[in-house]
Structure 1
Amino acid sequence: MQPSKPAPPGIRHNVHKMLQDDYDNVYKIILLGDATVGKSHLLSHYIRGTLPKQAKATIGVEFATRTVPLASGGTVKAQIWDTAGQERYRSITSAHYRRAVGALLVYDVTNRQSFYNCQKWLDELRLAAEPDIVVVLVGNKIDLTIQDPSVRQVHRDQAAMFANEWNLHLFEASAVSGQNVKDVFEFLLQEIHNLKSRADAPHGNEEATISTSESSRIDPLRVSRRRPNDTVLGCLQQDGCSGGSCMFQ
């Protein structure tokens, strides 16, 4: 019996393309905020479900991807860019804001200055990113406040006022415990998808599109009371990573 012949190059290319195109849209989102607020840990927990083995400062920009099924239907690929918070990398990181359609603006709930600096980060972002970029304000490290409430320096009401003033969504999360991490990223992706769907919808279908969008929304201020979503999604090792560097290699 003769061994089977390998598929012709054209067929192999088409199969590879089908695997590559198993999503409806690609959304570029970025994480920004001061150094040490936990941006890389949030990304690592979302992509791998664990924290990096060794904590280190992000140098320039790091990049990961994940394919995500949306609650409203359809699948998107998230290109997630983790930017350095140090001043000396500012010119490098701000260049990567271009064409971003979503952002997580991260501060540390135990560090008041990291919250005050969110205004500066937001100003820089809106100068370079897409004009309709969806921004989620994320107060990280709430696990520390559970252990000792006295360490909290940024109260939720204060963050909510800032979020309302600048039309941001607000979450509090913990990269260490994983609380709300998945919800933060996937709320952002769903909001981007809703916005793009409304923009692309024919004029006659606008009302129906908005109705669908509203029915799939999460209330970020109440997200801690939602029932956890147990859906298992692909991880970085399945989707691969590319770009400047990868924190997980």
Structure 2
Amino acid sequence: MDMPEEIKQFKITLVGNTQVGKTNLFSRFVQGKLPKVIYPTIGVEYALKQYQLSHNQQINLQLWDTAGQERYRQIILQHLKKAKGVYLVYDITKKATFDQLEEWLDNIRQLTDPDVAIMIVGNKLDKVVDNYELREVQLEQAKNFADLHNLTFMEISVYSDEDVEKCLTKMVEEICNTSQICQK
């Protein structure tokens, strides 16, 4: 009798400044919808999501939503350890959140393994569709930052659900490619 194959599991952490949309992104990943009421995350929140790879392998994603407030920074940084993937989220309508990416990236690289998959995610694309003046971080500026640091980059809208599933799929593919933990 064949034994069932062990389900692979890996940790993905969401980090970034406060109010960039990490909790909404977390909710879209886990529940497929936005939360009815949004409260600032205190410390961290955790959920497990089953994910089916294209070759029918089942994996479990441990998703960790972290607070963005400075007072929780040390707690947040501890949750980077053993992460196979990190979403570094900023708000495209608030340049200050983009300006903090370098500091976040330094922390991530100090506390994670060298093969961790890091994705820069510009959120709130929906806000600039009809009012481009609200955009404070230009697409080229973000692409250049990602290229400079050899990172994957996407812009999404958690509110309208634009490219959220693609964002998750891209992260899983990158983790599978870099860590060799997924079968092909």
Which blocks of at least 5 consecutive residues in structure 1 are unaligned? 1-16, 202-208, 213-249
| Matched residue, 2:87 | 104
Per-residue deviation, residues 5-32 of structure 1 (Å, max 9, x unmatched): xxxxxxxxxxxx96xx763x11101000
| Matched residue, 2:17 | 34
TM-score normalised according to structure 2 size: 0.93
User: Residue 194 of structure 1: which of 174, 177, 181 is its match?
Assistant: 177
Q: How do 1:114-129 and structure 2 match up within 5 A?
A: 114-129=97-112
Quote the Cα distance in structure 2 between the aligned partners of 1:71 and 1:130.
Answer: 26
Quote the Cα distance in structure 1 between the aligned partners of 2:9 and 2:100.
Answer: 29
Say if 2:28 and 2:34, in contact at 8 Å, map to a contact too.
yes
Offset, 1:75 = 2.0
| Matched residue, 1:162 | 145
Quote the Cα distance in structure 2 between the aligned partners of 1:82 and 1:70.
Answer: 23
User: Residue 161 of structure 2: which of 162, 173, 178 is its match?
Assistant: 178
Higher helix share: 1
What value does the CA root-mean-square deviation take over the aligned residues?
2.0
Quote the Cα distance in structure 1 between the aligned partners of 2:163 and 2:25.
Answer: 10
Counterpart check, 1:135 vs 2:125: no
Offset, 1:71 = 2.5
One-letter identity of the residue aligned with 1:34: N
Which blocks of at least 5 consecutive residues in structure 2 are unaligned? none
Quote the Cα distance in structure 2 between the aligned partners of 1:22 and 1:45.
Answer: 27
What is the DSSP-based 3-state SS (H/G/I as helix, E as strand, rest coil) of the residue aligned with 1:101? strand
Counterpart check, 1:61 vs 2:44: yes
Quote the Cα distance in structure 2 between the aligned partners of 1:47 and 1:152.
Answer: 28
What is the DSSP-based 3-state SS (H/G/I as helix, E as strand, rest coil) of the residue aligned with 2:50? strand
Per-residue deviation, residues 70-119 of structure 1 (Å, max 9, x unmatched): 13552211101111110100111111111011011000000001001011
Quote the Cα distance in structure 2 between the aligned partners of 1:72 and 1:173.
Answer: 26
User: Residue 32 of structure 2: which of 34, 39, 49 is its match?
Assistant: 49
Is the alpha carbon distance of 1:137 and 1:72 closer, same or farther for their aligned partners in structure 2, counting shifts above 3 Å? farther
Quote the Cα distance in structure 1 between the aligned partners of 2:148 and 2:121.
Answer: 15
Offset, 1:190 = 1.2
Using the aligned pairs only, state the percent identity.
37
Higher strand share: 2
User: Residue 149 of structure 1: which of 132, 143, 149 is its match?
Assistant: 132
Quote the Cα distance in structure 2 between the aligned partners of 1:38 and 1:22.
Answer: 33
Moved over 2 A (4+): none
